[in-house]
Structures are given as structure tokens and as C-alpha cells.
């Protein structure tokens, strides 16, 4: 006989979960649980919302102070950490339109160097407020404008003396005296020199977005234009006398001039190619072109060739103004070469330490 369970007895067999026992899971429930597990595992780390991520960005406030009066000019707020000094200059220009970015010089300290436009604001920050000192750099011009103006003047000025204007030379004396062939050759070489500079400025050299004060361009033009007037006046004068050693002196000097001009061009092309390719980790090396082999002896062969051009032009024309100009150019270029050589020593010491700066052994 089957025993009947009393009504008052607890129903243990019907409610196993009441005593901590596991409930049996159906096939559909287990499949749903498996799919949910796979979904959670494939989702990966939960990304924060865009609003939460944006709220964690720290902005800087840049206080612009006049370097002389120490008075606050304005405050540039909400500057992102990724901003550069150039970005701050543009925002400063919006607040003070009379100072455009190229005219603004910013310093971290009163007597410190001017900050480069590419410097990150975050690298300057000690706190959320950054104080920068403002200096008005004056009227500025771009580097391309600077060099085009500096080189166009000598080209045109020399041609004005070459055609012997009546306002410069006596026309009666100009018609009587025969022009020596070296006068025509000197005009050709002089024009070739500055035409090369102009073409390289436009198509070879890659200038930065930086600027230079207008007064520097005025000083450079005064130097080049003034010396060109002096040189051209003597060489194209009706009473000009040819060199002492005649045709041989002119021929050898002209050949040396053309070789230096060619070498200068090929060196500038090699330097521009290295800059454009982004390969700045090694010192420029000579190529199959023989004009680039000067890299084996000096670190600044472009200055060597430039000095050689003017020394050759001096020998070819045998005039005092050209000699003085060549002497000054050699001094100036030796100073530029020494400065660049020191930078090369810091970056490429093993490759440059046995080289001279501009002239082998001497400099």
C-alpha cells in the first residue's frame, strides 16, 4: 500500500530551493545563459562615455604680460594641452589684432630666449596658469621675400651699369673706348651668380614658416646693393683696364668661378634632398657627383664654394672693390660655417669631428 503523506508535513520534495539545492535548468534557459556569457566576454572593457572623457581634459590659462612694464595684457583661456606656442599667438592675435603672430615674441622669463612656435604648451606648464612675457618684434618679413629682395637688387643694379647709362658715365667717352671681353664675361658671371640664388630660393631651398625683422632685410640689401653698385661702376667704367696677365688669368679664373658655382648648386640640392626626405639622423654624405666629394673634408662645403666664387671673380676682374667684397664674404661665411659646424658636432660628432668647418686645415 502506498502511504499517504500527512497534510501538515513540509513538502521537501516540491521545494528543493528552500534548502539551498540547485534547481534543474531547462535546455532553453542554459542556451540563453551561454549566449549572455559570450556577449559579455566579447564586449571587452566598457569604454567611458564621450562626455566623461571630455570632462577629464585639463585646460591651461596663459597670462600674457608685457616684458617692460610687467603689466598684464590679456589672458588666453581654455588652451588645450596639445596646443603649441603658435596656437597661443593666434589666440593672442584675436584678442589684440594689432599684433599678428609673426610679430609676437613670447618668453618664459624676462631675460630668457624667445620660445619657438613648435614648443608644446604642456611642456612649459608647472600649474594650470602659465605666464609668458610679450615682446613686440616689430615689422616682419618672410624668409622667401627676404632673399628674393636681397638677390634681385644686385642683378638689376649691375645691368644698369653694364648698359652705361648717360646719368652714370660720360657718353662721349663711352663711345670712344672699346670694351674688353672680360667686361662682358664679368657681367655674365655676376648675373649667373644671382640668377642661381634666385632660382634656388624659389625651387630648391625650403624655408620654415618663420620670419625675420624688416630691419635685417634693409641692412642686407644695403650691403649687397651698395657693394654691387661699387663693383659694377669700376668694371663697366670706360677707363677700366684688363687684368695684368691677360687672357690666361681671365680664362682660369672664369673656369674656377663656374666650377664653384656648379659645386655650390649641387651641394644645396643635396642638402635640400636630405631635408625633404626627412633623413636628419646622419651627416650629409657625398654621392657619385664629384662636386659633393667636398663633404669628405669640410662640414659646410656650400660656404667653401661661395667663397671660391668671389675669390675667382676677384682674380678675373682684378678690381679693388671686388677684392674687399670677397674678403668680407669670406669672413662672414667662416663665422656662419663655425656656427653650423658646432651644431653638427653636437648631432653627428663621430662623422664631423675630423672635418674642418669651411676651409680644410685652416678653419
pLDDT at 363: 47
Cα distance between the two ends of the chain = 124
Q: What is the set of domains in the chain, with CATH numbers?
A: 60-138 (3.10.20.90), 139-241 (no CATH), 244-362 (no CATH)
Low-confidence spans in the chain with pLDDT less than 50: 1-25, 27, 40, 48-55, 363
C-alpha cell at 279: 633623413
| Sheet of strand 72-79: strand arrangement | 72-79, 60-66, 129-136, 104-107
- Lookup result for grid cell 585646460: 59
What's the grid cell of residue 273? 634632398
pLDDT, residue 217, reads 96
Alpha-carbon span 261 to 270, nearest angstrom: 14
CA R_g for the chain: 38
299 vs 157, 173, 229, 284, 296, CA distance in Å?
33, 49, 33, 9, 8
In the DSSP assignment, the letter for residue 114 is B
Sorted by sequence, the CB contacts under 8 Å of residue 117 that are 6+ apart come out as: 84, 85, 86, 89, 209, 210
How far does CA 57 lie from the centroid of its chain?
32
Q: Nine-digit cell at 116? A: 619657438
For residues 46 and 164, give the distance between their C-alpha atoms in angstroms, rounded to a whole number: 84
Are 234 and 240 a contacting pair, CB within 8 Å?
Answer: yes
Query: How crowded is residue 330: how many other Cβ atoms within 10 Å of its Cβ?
Result: 19
| φ, ψ of residue 176 in degrees (nearest 5) | -75, -45
Beta strands 72-79 and 60-66: pairing type?
Answer: antiparallel
Q: Write the secondary structure of 3-50 as one string of H (helix), E (strand) and C (coil).
A: CCCCCCCCCCCCCHHHHCCCCCCCHHHHHHHHHHHHHHHHHCCCCCCH
Written as nine digits, the cell of 355 is 672635418
Question: What is the greatest pairwise CA distance in the chain?
Answer: 157
**Residues 40-96 pLDDT 10s:** 455 555 554 444 344 456 889 999 999 999 999 999 998 998 899 999 999 999 999
Q: What is the pLDDT of residue 166?
A: 86
Tell me: the pLDDT tens digits for 135-184? 999 899 999 999 999 999 999 999 999 999 888 998 888 887 788 999 99
Cβ atoms of 134 and 160 within 8 Å: the answer is: no
| CB distance 134 to 104 below 8 Å | yes
60, β-bridge pairs: 79
Which whole-number Å values give the CA distances from 41 to 19, 30, 181, 261, in the listed order?
32, 17, 90, 71
What pLDDT does residue 42 have?
Answer: 54
How many whole angstroms from its chain centre is CA 93?
23
Query: Do the beta carbons of residue 64 and residue 94 sit within 8 Å?
Result: no
CA distance linking residue 317 with residue 193, whole number of Å: 15
Task: Give residue 16's pLDDT.
Answer: 42
- For residues 299, 305, 311, 314, the Cα torsion angle rounded to the nearest 10 degrees is -160
> Concatenated DSSP letters for 137-204?
--SEEEHHHHHHHHHHHHHHHHHHHHTT-TTTS-HHHHHHSPPPHHHHHHHHHHHHHHHHHHHHHHHT
Amino acid at each position: 500500500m502506498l502511504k499517504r503523506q500527512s497534510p501538515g508535513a513540509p513538502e521537501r520534495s516540491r521545494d528543493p530551493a528552500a534548502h539551498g539545492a540547485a534547481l534543474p535548468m531547462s535546455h532553453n534557459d542554459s542556451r540563453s545563459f551561454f549566449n549572455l556569457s559570450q556577449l559579455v566576454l566579447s564586449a571587452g572593457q566598457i569604454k567611458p562615455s564621450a562626455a566623461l572623457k571630455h570632462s577629464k581634459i585639463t585646460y591651461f590659462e596663459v597670462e600674457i604680460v608685457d616684458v617692460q612694464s610687467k603689466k598684464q595684457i590679456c589672458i588666453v583661456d581654455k588652451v588645450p594641452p596639445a596646443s603649441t606656442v603658435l596656437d597661443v599667438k593666434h589666440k593672442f592675435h584675436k584678442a589684440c589684432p594689432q599684433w599678428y603672430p609673426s610679430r609676437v615674441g613670447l618668453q618664459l622669463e624676462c631675460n630668457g630666449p624667445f620660445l619657438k612656435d613648435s614648443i608644446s604648451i604642456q611642456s612649459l606648464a608647472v600649474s594650470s596658469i602659465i605666464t609668458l612675457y610679450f615682446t613686440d618684434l616689430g615689422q616682419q618679413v618672410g624668409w622667401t621675400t627676404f632673399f628674393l629682395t636681397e638677390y634681385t637688387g644686385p642683378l638689376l643694379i649691375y645691368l644698369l651699369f653694364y648698359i652705361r647709362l648717360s646719368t652714370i658715365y660720360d657718353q662721349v667717352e663711352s663711345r670712344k673706348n672699346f670694351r674688353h671681353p672680360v667686361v662682358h664675361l664679368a657681367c655674365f658671371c655676376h648675373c649667373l651668380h644671382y640668377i642661381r640664388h634666385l632660382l634656388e630660393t624659389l625651387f630648391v631651398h625650403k624655408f620654415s614658416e618663420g620670419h625675420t625683422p624688416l630691419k635685417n632685410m634693409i641692412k642686407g640689401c644695403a650691403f649687397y646693393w651698395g657693394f654691387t653698385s661699387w663693383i659694377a661702376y669700376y668694371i663697366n667704367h670706360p677707363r677700366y683696364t684688363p687684368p695684368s696677365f691677360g687672357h690666361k688669368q681671365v680664362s682660369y679664373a672664369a673656369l674656377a668661378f663656374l666650377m664653384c658655382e656648379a659645386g655650390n648648386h649641387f651641394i644645396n640640392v643635396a642638402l635640400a634632398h636630405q631635408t625633404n626626405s626627412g633623413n636628419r639622423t646622419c651627416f650629409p654624405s657625398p654621392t657619385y657627383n664629384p662636386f659633393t666629394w667636398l663633404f669628405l673634408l669640410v662640414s659646410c662645403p656650400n660656404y667653401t664654394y661661395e667663397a671660391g666664387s668671389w675669390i675667382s671673380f676677384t682674380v678675373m676682374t682684378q678690381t679693388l672693390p671686388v677684392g674687399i667684397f670677397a674678403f668680407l664674404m669670406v669672413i662672414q661665411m667662416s663665422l656662419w660655417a663655425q656656427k653650423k659646424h658646432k651644431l653638427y658636432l653636437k648631432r653627428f660628432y663621430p662623422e664631423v669631428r675630423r672635418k674642418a668647418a669651411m676651409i680644410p686645415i685652416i678653419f
